[in-house]
Structure 1
């Protein structure tokens, strides 16, 4: 929101305050100030002047030579605008002045020297395209700085408002804030009109429209807006169009209530019906864009044809043009959720929708339409031709009991009673003493106030948080009462950071369209009110957020990455189910900071990190081929605990990584574990390590294993038939190549035998080996011959 200081002075006297002072006061009271600007500072050395003489250029038919009195001196200026006349007052930039980055210098035009240039409204950004130079409508003092003469030297304060402070999206709203800060009077402009019973307007509302107020006006003359109106609109960031449209924009910026003007002759009667759109219904908007509508969209219609997309933009067919002579004025209050959904779905954001999405005052409709009509009457010569039709009931004021002791407790300081009362009154609240405090009526434009603590916040921000003393909290020793989930997350983070992983935090939302590109199996819970279309689904896992982070880093040449994130994921069951998970992602070198370490991350080192997490919970785990379609089968597995899948890990599909995340040329490892289930399955493991006094015996077996076989089955068979002295089974080597039949691979395992009673003999070991080999043959695994 851009706030013109000159405009503010219409409602509250701020003549004794500078723009930086106002900006600082707003910042301290909770309104974030982005900048203080002077929009016309790009003009330097421009002055008012009076044309003393106009002569034809001796060497050019399309040029004239003028003499211009600029205060104490007369200058010669050559111009292509042959409409200039002696005695006219104009704006001129003299040699040495600047326009944007262009320095104005003396210049010869076909042999005649020009000592400056005339200015048009186009150069002043007050007109899209100028056909002639600018003339003052009445005599002015010559030699006066043009910015001062046209009031272009006023500052503009740009503020960034939070979504709950829609009441400040107006000059009135900011004026109310400054009234409370400086304790000054605030006066609304008059809005007097005489209604005409000659015509009536029939209005029928849908539930998506809370109130609709309308008025007809005749004898409208559509023309250029006066300079003061253009100046204020440009300062606020809007483009002047014509007097009727400019007035609707002006009143919106002034009151914060969006309004609209229809060409009454194009409506086809004095009937307005607000209804839901029909599926597939079309409407061409004022910007020429045709939109296809659905049943949740809200329309303004004449009973048959749509006239406007409610709260967002008018229709092209009923828009104001230079031929318009009758207008129907609209001041409506629409349901914020309905407007927000339509605007987001169609990708349209307007000044009107921006305000309706945050809520507008439903009690000021009659005042706003009178203000609108009075300005149109004044600036276009129009007359009121109907009664004000007003359908819908404004909501009743909320009443909240505010306790004095509660104010002091929450703010941590004693605020004088008189100060509390003054702050609330100047902010527009009505209050009456009651018991231990006040009964406070909330003004209808403060729809963000609903409870007692909201009132305390209002008092605190205007009173000044700098007046609240800074006192260190008193902390008494006591029993630690930290939730189990937080303790487990802390332990996880310590393990992962010790393993070289960095923590990241992403949104819990994801782009559903990108999700479909990864896999069509996902059905994530959808948000009813998303921040944007790209963040409209709840994440079904954390790993995809890490992939976005990896993509961002990869495209910026950071190709060595180890990251993790812990948080909730969401499943679309009968109700939305969520659980705590941790996800890891790694790519590139194993140790990027050690130039002597040339290793890249491998499936085995990544698997080791997963195992370190599982061992933290003391669970017995196993691995099975991964069920995720977006993991490469060559190196991916599901993590199984007590027959239940509690996670997965592996290499992300390289094709999807390239196509969706723009990562290519290296393996991308991802993993995710369900921490909630691990906490439930957790075992406290206290193992007694016994050391045998007798030597261990080691035997290696090279086995031919079909590709379809799972090592977990082979390991289980070895342990089952290896006898009581078999202590461990470990893989020592995997080989694929010469002498290995197609469809097989060779895996060498080391078997460790150990006895606590005697030294093992060759016969005992050989007997166990024979049992193992025999059992392995039954599952299709043979001893490798060579």
Structure 2
């Protein structure tokens, strides 16, 4: 919304300079986007009249003018040489006197082709005005000769541009902005002029609303014997131009002017083009378009009307696209002497979105789709009628009005207690009531509750929070203290039995892993394999086909990261990720948190101190055990869709499966074109966060005793089985049991293997004897023989 500051101050004139007024508007929610001077800074220019104009004797394109500049120059007339093609006797123009300061120059007395020139007749461009016309700037015939041109042309003015939010449609007119300024600055608002016009006869055009919900109110009147070519007052043209609207003709200028003044769009139809007005009473119909209808709009677009488009028509064809644009063949034009002036309220929902669909916008649609003041519809029509009669002459008929379903404005309860709690300041009832009165709201008060009836021009007020915002912005956001929040900062309990995810990250970073963060939505191709039997969770509105399902595993994203790094010649890749996975449950979606890792390439960074080798299963197994330390998990052979069938294991902790570990499946390695295999693991995060509490024990003061056991067992018997059998004997003297050798070969039958275990025995109270140690060792050997089929190897 762009307007002249001087125009605004005709409605309300607060004692604030321009920049402070702009700041007050911005702080109240009406952001001032730009402040621009109407004209460049100049001085020494007066209104002058050309008394005579004669051709220069030595130049065909120059004229010698005698110019009356009033008493400003201290003489009756000045001689000025002028090269403008439109100079003529009797015209009034701006004249720069000798010594005048113009944009980019200071005017001095000059001799042009031997003729003395005592000033300069000015064009709009020479004065820095926005005008593309050639030649001198011609002024009105009643312009006072000798008057300062800046004051006469109101050039000491500022153009204000508001960046309005869509909810503030009431400020798309000068009256609405003036109401806001009056409320913000506590300044008296000048009452709007009563412009009622008595009709000389009953209306010769009727109105029928066939879509009452789309058009709750329609007013119109016939005005006859108008002079379309009448001269539009300069003050009106200036205000229009300074709001970005060019002058067209007297009637159109009035409708545009009233729209800028009130925010209510108007439209004028050529009465002679409304069917039935020639022989009797014509009829205006407000209806939705019928199939097959078309309309040629004022902007030249030939529009095929759709059934959801509201039109203004006569008994025959459509005349205008309601609330958006008039028809080319029904508008006022050269030769129009009688018109039908329309002022209506169209439901915002009917107009909204149509401009976007049609590919063009209009000032009318911009206002109607946000909501105009339906209570002022008739008053605006009267205002426009008065201006047309004053400028164009003519006689007006009675107003014709048709009503549909006028929007209701239900009251809103504003609780003072709620207001104080939301704003955090103490405002008494009198202060809040004063603010509402300044805004022009009607209300009643009962027991700390103000029941407010929103004005007809405020469509954005619907709930209590809207009223709280109104009170806050008028009270002034700068008057609301910015207190620092106060809250207790007591330390949260940190149970010793749990670890933070940051600790797991630290463990992996110390083991040379780098964390990655991948999208939670992935390519469906990945989910057919790593997800196993779990159907992936599909997205209803995916970003792309390659990101159309939610991941059920973190491994797919890590493999994609690996491929990215290997393509860029990275020889040693260690990655991990902590994140959510998504699965379908019986009745709801599940979202387990997991930790996954991947290692590929060289086991050690390139160096001279150790031979180069590739990462293997056991390197990564050690990394997994570091995450569980000190409660080490068990590993048992198991298959996984993404892992190598013979190089994968299920991770067991607390008697249940908590994850997988293994090398990448050869099929996936081939599909991705990976030169090296990778070792991957994925674990339930919740299990890793659990931590066993340490237990204090007595420090042993007596030496430990070591005994070794070597047994031969079938190949399918695991080390874990043997260890569990020995530990199940619960011998208190046994401090540690661990395997230190595996042998296959000479002396051991095919299909069997030899395992050697180290057993440390210790008693905290005494030194153990050989007899006591022999008893414990005999029980361990017996357990291996009876439970695992082991045979002691001598």
TMscore range, shorter length: 0.5 to 0.7
Question: Does 2:269 correspond to 1:267?
Answer: no
Alpha-carbon distance, 1:432 to partner: 2.4
Q: Deviations over 1:114-136 (max 9, x none)?
A: 54233359978687646764133
Residue 34 of structure 2 corresponds to 35
Residue 55 of structure 2 corresponds to 56
Query: Structure 1 residue aligned with 2:94, among 91, 94, 99?
Result: 91
- Structure 1: how far apart are the matches of 2:477 and 2:463? 20
> RMSD value over aligned CA atoms?
5.1
User: Contact 2:645 / 2:665 at 8 angstroms: preserved in 1?
Assistant: no
- Structure 2: how far apart are the matches of 1:260 and 1:322? 16
- Structure 2: how far apart are the matches of 1:294 and 1:50? 57
The SS at the match of 1:137 is coil
Q: How does 1:189-338 map to 2 (within 5 A)?
A: 189-195=193-199, 196-206=201-211, 207-223=213-229, 224-269=231-276, 270-278=282-290, 281-338=293-350
Q: Which moved more, 1:445-454 or 1:287-296?
A: 287-296
Alpha-carbon distance, 1:390 to partner: 3.1
Residue 552 of structure 1 corresponds to none
Query: Structure 1 residue aligned with 2:162, among 153, 159, 163?
Result: 159
User: Contact 1:200 / 1:386 at 8 angstroms: preserved in 2?
Assistant: no
User: Contact 1:541 / 1:570 at 8 angstroms: preserved in 2?
Assistant: no
User: Contact 1:589 / 1:601 at 8 angstroms: preserved in 2?
Assistant: no
Query: Structure 2 residue aligned with 1:172, among 167, 171, 175?
Result: 175
Task: Decide whether aligned partners of structure 1 residues 142 and 169 sit closer, same or farther in structure 2, where only a CA change above 3 A counts.
Answer: same
Q: How does 1:624-703 map to 2 (within 5 A)?
A: 679-680=591-592, 687=628
The SS at the match of 1:379 is helix
Alpha-carbon distance, 1:425 to partner: 1.2
Q: Which moved more, 1:165-174 or 1:1-10?
A: 1-10
For structure 1, the 5+ residue unaligned runs are: 482-487, 505-522, 526-538, 546-568, 572-578, 592-597, 620-640, 646-675, 693-709, 721-726, 769-786
Alpha-carbon distance, 1:347 to partner: 1.8
User: Contact 1:203 / 1:272 at 8 angstroms: preserved in 2?
Assistant: yes
User: Contact 1:49 / 1:69 at 8 angstroms: preserved in 2?
Assistant: yes
Alpha-carbon distance, 1:479 to partner: 10
- Structure 2: how far apart are the matches of 1:290 and 1:92? 48
Question: Does 2:93 correspond to 1:181?
Answer: no
Q: How does 1:88-127 map to 2 (within 5 A)?
A: 88-93=91-96, 115-119=119-123
Residue 575 of structure 1 corresponds to none
Alpha-carbon distance, 1:730 to partner: 3.4
The SS at the match of 2:181 is helix
Task: Decide whether aligned partners of structure 1 residues 680 and 419 sit closer, same or farther in structure 2, where only a CA change above 3 A counts.
Answer: same
- Structure 1: how far apart are the matches of 2:558 and 2:369? 39
Question: Does 2:125 correspond to 1:134?
Answer: no
Q: Deviations over 1:439-488 (max 9, x none)?
A: 3222111111122232222122112222223322332468989xxxxxx9
Residue 73 of structure 2 corresponds to 72
Q: Deviations over 1:478-499 (max 9, x none)?
A: 8989xxxxxx999999999x96
Residue 472 of structure 1 corresponds to 484
- Structure 1: how far apart are the matches of 2:372 and 2:505? 46
Alpha-carbon distance, 1:345 to partner: 0.8
Question: Does 2:440 correspond to 1:428?
Answer: yes
Alpha-carbon distance, 1:161 to partner: 1.2
- Structure 1: how far apart are the matches of 2:300 and 2:558? 47
User: Contact 1:62 / 1:82 at 8 angstroms: preserved in 2?
Assistant: no
User: Contact 1:252 / 1:259 at 8 angstroms: preserved in 2?
Assistant: yes
User: Contact 1:63 / 1:82 at 8 angstroms: preserved in 2?
Assistant: no
- Structure 2: how far apart are the matches of 1:600 and 1:310? 62
Task: Decide whether aligned partners of structure 1 residues 305 and 42 sit closer, same or farther in structure 2, where only a CA change above 3 A counts.
Answer: farther
The SS at the match of 2:353 is helix
Q: Deviations over 1:651-696 (max 9, x none)?
A: xxxxxxxxxxxxxxxxxxxxxxxxx96724759998578999xxxx
Residue 695 of structure 1 corresponds to none
TM-score, length of structure 1 as denominator length: 0.65
- Structure 1: how far apart are the matches of 2:349 and 2:97? 54
The SS at the match of 2:369 is helix
Residue 623 of structure 1 corresponds to none
Residue 663 of structure 2 corresponds to 730
User: Contact 2:435 / 2:471 at 8 angstroms: preserved in 1?
Assistant: yes
Residue 468 of structure 2 corresponds to 456
- Structure 2: how far apart are the matches of 1:284 and 1:266? 14
Task: Decide whether aligned partners of structure 1 residues 759 and 390 sit closer, same or farther in structure 2, where only a CA change above 3 A counts.
Answer: same
- Structure 2: how far apart are the matches of 1:570 and 1:730? 25
- Structure 2: how far apart are the matches of 1:762 and 1:126? 103
- Structure 2: how far apart are the matches of 1:524 and 1:320? 56
Residue 21 of structure 1 corresponds to 20
The SS at the match of 1:91 is strand
Q: How does 1:374-413 map to 2 (within 5 A)?
A: 374-413=386-425
Residue 148 of structure 1 corresponds to 151
User: Contact 1:734 / 1:748 at 8 angstroms: preserved in 2?
Assistant: no
Q: Which moved more, 1:106-115 or 1:179-188?
A: 106-115
